[in-house]
Amino acid sequence: MNEKPNLDYIQKISGGDQSFEEKLLAVIRKEIVVEIDEYQENMKELLLDKASENIHKLKHKISILGLEKGYKIAVEFEEELKRGDFCHKEQFDEILKNILTFINES
């Protein structure tokens, strides 16, 4: 997957307000790490309903970080988990890895 996280959407909604951008990114940084940890723990314990709920929260941050394809994969994987299907797990986990790298570098 070539898609990389970016700040385009955040910059668009900020209207150039650097302070707003920094505050929003700080919130995303703080929340996404916790949500990813919870998702990984729930997957490890095979608590698929809870993992699906984690994905539901994460998909909005995925969208905010400009990952349109990633958002679609999250939507599909969220529904798959409700059926006990792991088809998009590898792709979704790669998206999360890319987001963590981006968050740590920005």
What lies within 8 Å, CB to CB, of 29 at 6+ separation is 103
Q: Is residue 84 part of a domain?
A: yes
Number of folded domains in the chain? 1
Cα–Cα distance measured from residue 1 to residue 71, given in angstroms and rounded to the nearest whole number: 13
| Percent residues over pLDDT 70 in the chain | 99
Tell me which residue range forms the domain holding 95: 8-105
Cα–Cα distance measured from residue 84 to residue 52, given in angstroms and rounded to the nearest whole number: 10
pLDDT band with cut points at 50, 70 and 90 for residue 106: confident
Q: Is residue 3 part of a domain?
A: no
Cα–Cα distance measured from residue 1 to residue 94, given in angstroms and rounded to the nearest whole number: 8
Each residue's pLDDT tens digit, 7-23? 999 999 999 999 999 99
102 to 3, 13, 76: CA distances (angstroms) = 12, 20, 23
Residue 50, both tokens? 């809870």
Q: Is residue 2 part of a domain?
A: no
pLDDT at 51: 98
The answer to whether the CB of 14 falls within 8 A of the CB of 75 is: no
Q: Taking Cα atoms as reference points, which of 103, 19, 16, 23 lies closest to residue 58?
A: 103
Q: Is residue 53 part of a domain?
A: yes
| Chain center to CA of 100 | 9
Each residue's pLDDT tens digit, 32-62? 999 999 999 999 999 999 999 999 999 999 9
Q: Is residue 81 part of a domain?
A: yes
